[in-house]
Structure 1
Amino acid sequence: MEKDIQKKKTLTLSMPALVEGGYNADIPQAPARVSVLDRWMARKLMDLLGDPPLSFVLWNIEEISSSAAKPMARVHFHDSEALHHLLINPALHFGDLYSVGRIEIEGELVRFLETAYRAAASSPKYRKLKKAQTRLFNRPRLNRPADSRDNIHHHYDIGNDFYERWLDREAMQYTCAYFPSPDLTLEQAQRAKMDHICRKLQLKPGDRVVEAGGGWGGFARHMAKNYGARVRSYNISRQQVLYARARSVADGLERNVEYVEEDYRKMTGEYDVFVSVGMLEHVGRSHYRELGDVIHRCLAPHGRGLIHSIGRNKHEPMNAWIEKRIFPGAYPPTLREMMDIFETHEFSVLDVENLRLHYAKTLERWLARFERHAKDIEASYDSAFTRAWRLYLAGSIAGFTTGSLQLFQIVFSHGTNNDVPWSRAHLYRDS
């Protein structure tokens, strides 16, 4: 019963919530008349995107395309209002219109999104519109402790069974995997990611590890089981913490792994290792120095640290629809922005690696598994929720393949610590 209540509280992607927000899912059954204004809006939208190799199909089957190239996908609009919404704010409204079925894509969804992303990025008109809309309307939610709990609850507490359907079966890793060989299974690649991070941290038996944002606890268990570390993992998702504790007991690791349901700002104690995998995206730029203070307070003088985060090559806010519907309060930083974590306390950055294409491949594996379970997911939630998550996963693939998103791993230590590796040889030895 409690799980059902939690779902109902968090499903802002459900059909009723979207309809309440103005996205009526009632599509006309018969083709309606297309006006001169409708045609103008379709051509204006095409021009705004820089005339990409796409075709717009209106609700009377009329097709509008301004590119000489053969369209690689067709965008079907079911009504005039959907076209109007999209022209006003494409970044915000496309996701909801697609979710309720008022826009359909004929063609491969990821390829369509890649084409749209590249076109928008190279269009001066679209960039100007996006800049104005960001300044006027895009106000990311705050990341104070209470806000962070709400933001994390929105995304992670929608049912562990949902994530179990498409994440790896062993560790439930909801972060970028590592593919030293492209033919690895998702489980193998996630295990390789965890080992890759442990090698970067030169993890050894007895190390005291503090983890910020532990997910479903798989990485903490991996460090304890395979490297002999003693791990304390902080997380504010109630459902994830309960899951992690149960798995730890089942694996007989409860003496070496502690899951703390608390904000990272409340970390206490001294540790040999600080690690954060996929949590920085939720911290917010205004709290980076605060995170640096926490690390400085907790990391022993000889300690090592690693932060693994989605990022960007230049400053840009989170996509408006993703920030509203999927990841409230999220922000992917640039490397320069991440330095605010380290500079105040003069941490030394020892290693930086970009795993952008590894994340694209990870997402491809997730999306394939998601599609295999799509009917079950729709039965448990509804069609709007399923379509929204399909779009989110496909759009994330396109974000990484087109270079608008990056995946940074940064290794660091105190600036006075001379016990650091001379080379990177330790990164590539056998586990």
Structure 2
Amino acid sequence: MSSSDAAQGERGADGARSFEGRLLERMLTRLGNPEVEFTLWTGERIAPAGVEPVCRVRIGSRTTLLAIVADPAVRFPDAYCDGRVEIEGDLVRLLERVYLAGERARLPRPSAACSGGFAARTSIRSPARAPTSIIITTSATHSTNCGSARPWRIPAPITPPSETSLDQAQIAKMHHVCRKMRLRAGEHVVEAGCGWGALALHMARHYGVKVRAFNISKEQVAYARERAEREGLAGQVEYVQDDYRNICGRYDAFVSVGMLEH
């Protein structure tokens, strides 16, 4: 689909597309023209031609639009959380359509295409094997939080037979994640959103890797550091109190479990 096909919708009073509208058209073309209709603060609408949008997105200001166009993978979620972007419809369907449109167009995923974004500053290194990246999301009720009575848990435990305890299911889940990453002793792993630090310790203890684990919670990082010291793993696991978007460096694997829900 060409850029001329990317968006129809309402134009200005003189029938011409505004500068902001043209910017949004170009971004949609770059993303593969997902079936989403955008409405600017002026009332101008931009949508793919010949399809029924699965949802509608309203952008509240020119500043918000410029930020999203520059770095959609980071700035769009920020604007949505801040209320500067409003979504009419299903958020999950919106994300699915954007992802599928990019796949159809054989485009880089938005995060990899963003200048100055997380993916541009972080690389997965491993000449001996293919790079590994594991991101797991879930709506399980065992998500981490600072008031949890069982602070080591990670979201969405694997639940084998009914006689298996929740603790055993948690360990099974962590082994499952590690097997998916095909970890090898001596490799370097970065984790985004490590919670209370259980997975990082598990990877270091059972798979012999070195881990940098990021989390914005002061309390959780303090707890994880103390536990690493107590269990003799402080030399293998570094807990960093910082936003995952500030991750930089070279790693053999990237993992994130249950972070996107927060």
TM-score of the superposed pair, with normalisation by structure 1: 0.34
Alpha-carbon separation, structure 2, partners of 1:331 and 1:177: 30
Q: Percent identity?
A: 23
Contact map agreement 2:37 2:45 (CA 8 A) in 1: yes
Matches within 5 A, 1:284-295: none
Deviation per residue, 1:100-134 (Å, 9 max, x gap)? 32222222222222221222333356669955836
Summarize the Cα distance change of 1:164–1:241 in structure 2 as closer, same or farther, 3 Å threshold: closer
Please provide the CA RMSD for this pair.
5.2
Partner of residue 216, structure 1? 196
Question: Larger % of helix: which?
Answer: 1
Matches within 5 A, 1:245-394: 258-259=230-231, 262-264=234-236, 325-329=243-247, 337=252, 363=258, 392-393=260-261
Q: 1:193 aligns with which of 154, 170, 178?
A: 170
Partner-residue secondary structure (3-state), 1:56: strand
Partner of residue 154, structure 1? none
Letter in 2 for 1:193: Q
TM-score of the superposed pair, with normalisation by structure 2: 0.52
Alpha-carbon separation, structure 1, partners of 2:74 and 2:110: 15
Partner-residue secondary structure (3-state), 1:393: coil
Aligned length: 197
Query: 1:217 Cα shift?
Result: 6.7
Query: 1:44 Cα shift?
Result: 2.0
Letter in 2 for 1:117: Y
Summarize the Cα distance change of 1:45–1:178 in structure 2 as closer, same or farther, 3 Å threshold: same
Letter in 1 for 2:246: P
Partner of residue 115, structure 1? 97
Q: 1:88 aligns with which of 66, 70, 74?
A: 70
Matches within 5 A, 1:40-119: 40-119=22-101
Q: Which runs of 5+ in 2 are unaligned?
A: 1-12, 124-143, 177-188, 203-210
Query: 1:192 Cα shift?
Result: 0.8
Query: 1:81 Cα shift?
Result: 2.5
Query: 1:66 Cα shift?
Result: 1.1
Deviation per residue, 1:123-151 (Å, 9 max, x gap)? 3566699558369x93249xxxxxxxxxx
Deviation per residue, 1:256-285 (Å, 9 max, x gap)? x9345834179xxxxxxxxxxxx9xx8xxx
Query: 1:331 Cα shift?
Result: 8.0
Letter in 2 for 1:329: I
Q: Which runs of 5+ in 1 are unaligned?
A: 1-32, 142-161, 200-211, 223-233, 249-256, 267-278, 283-323, 339-355, 364-388, 395-431
Alpha-carbon separation, structure 2, partners of 1:331 and 1:111: 33
Partner of residue 172, structure 1? 152
Alpha-carbon separation, structure 2, partners of 1:128 and 1:327: 14
Deviation per residue, 1:385-417 (Å, 9 max, x gap)? xxxx8xx327xxxxxxxxxxxxxxxxxxxxxxx
Alpha-carbon separation, structure 2, partners of 1:325 and 1:235: 13
Contact map agreement 1:174 1:215 (CA 8 A) in 2: yes
